[in-house]
Amino acid sequence: MPDPMKIRATLQGDVADIRVLMAHPMETGLRKQGGKVVPAHYIQTITAQLNGRTVFSADISQAISRNPVFAFKVKGAKAGDKVVITWKDNEGQSRTDETTVQGGS
Partner 1 sequence: MQMNRRTLLQAGAALGAALLVPMRALAAWNKAAFEAKSEADAMRALGMGSPAESKDIEIRAPEIAENGAVVPIEITSNIPGTTSISVFIEKNPFPYTGTFEFPSGTMPYVHLRAKLGETTPVRVVVAASGKFYTTAKEVKVTIGGCGG
Partner 2 sequence: MRHALVLGIAAAVAAGAPWLPAAAQNPDPTAAEFDKFREIMEQDNPAELFEAKGAELWKTPRGPNHVSLEQCDLGLGPGVVKGAYVQLPRYFADAGRVMDAEARIVHCMVHQQGFNFEDLAKKPFSSADRTPDPVLLVTYVAGQSRGMKMAVPQDRPEERAAYEIGDQIFHYRAGSYDFACASCHGIDGARIRTQPLPNFTSKAHAMAASQGWPGYRMTGGVMHTLQWRLNDCFRQQRFPEPGYTSEALSALITYLTVNANGQVYRGPGIKR
CA distance 105 to 34: 50
Rounded Cα distance between 54 and 81, Å, is 13
Binds 76: which of partner 1, partner 2, none (CB < 5-8 Å by kind): partner 1
Under the criterion CB under 8 A, does residue 91 sit at the interface with partner 2?
A: no
What is the Cα–Cα distance from 72 to 93, expressed in whole angstroms?
A: 24
The vertex-64 CA angle with 41 and 86, nearest 5°, equals 70
76/91 with CB nearer partner 2: 91
> Binding string to partner 2 for residues 13 to 52, with x set by CB under 8 A, is what?
------x-x-x-xx----x-x----x--------------
The residues of the shown chain that bind partner 2, judged by CB under 8 A, are 3-4, 6, 19, 21, 23, 25-26, 31, 33, 38, 65-67, 69, 71
